[in-house]
Structure 1
Amino acid sequence: MKTKVLFFIFSILAFFETNAQCAMCRAVLENEEGQGAAKGINDGIIYLMSIPYILVFMVGFAIYWKYFRKKKNKT
């Protein structure tokens, strides 16, 4: 159980430091000075990418919670 929790925490922390730009976006935005737009687009991509994962996690947690709540009430 500890390894699963540690893996989950590490995954969340690693998620915040990733670069999610495609090759074409990166090539166009690297030519810009200041890199302000590149950072903004990268943050937007990560934001849009995280929403489906959060929704899937919430559905999975709801199913998990419902299953073990029923099991606990039966005993």
Structure 2
Amino acid sequence: MKLKLGLWVVFFFGFQIATWAQCAMCRASVENNVSNGDTTIGAGLNTGILYLFAMPYLIALVIGLLWYRAAKKRKSKVAIR
């Protein structure tokens, strides 16, 4: 179990570095496109930002629900004994 948790932590934090690296590239691309008169990429970028903004909250919600269900199941097993 500890190995599995450790692998998830490494996986989660390892890929965050790659996503942070893309922010400057996206901003430079949008600035370049806007300076050339193409403003259509901005709408897609805003949707992507909202998607990235919501993900940590969804992950926290899923972890909280799993924790709640496990605690509820554990409590019912103790009550039966």
| Range class of TM-score, shorter chain | 0.5 to 0.7
Whole-Å Cα distance in 2 between the matches of residues 67 and 9 of structure 1? Answer: 25
Q: Which is bigger in relative contact order (C-alpha 8 A, separation at least 6)?
A: 1
TM-score (norm 2): 0.52
Q: Which residue matches 1:36? A: none
Residues 19-65 of structure 1: CA distance to partner in whole angstroms, max 9, x if unpaired? 176xxx82315x4xxxxxxxxx8987644321111111111111111
**Percent of paired sites with the same residue:** 19
Gaps of 5+ in 1: 32-40
CA RMSD in angstroms comes to: 3.4
Q: Which residue matches 1:74? A: 80
Gaps of 5+ in 2: 33-45
Which of structures 1 and 2 has the bigger CA Rg?
2
TM-score (norm 1): 0.54
Deviating beyond 3 angstroms after TM superposition, the runs of 4 or more aligned structure 1 residues are 41-47
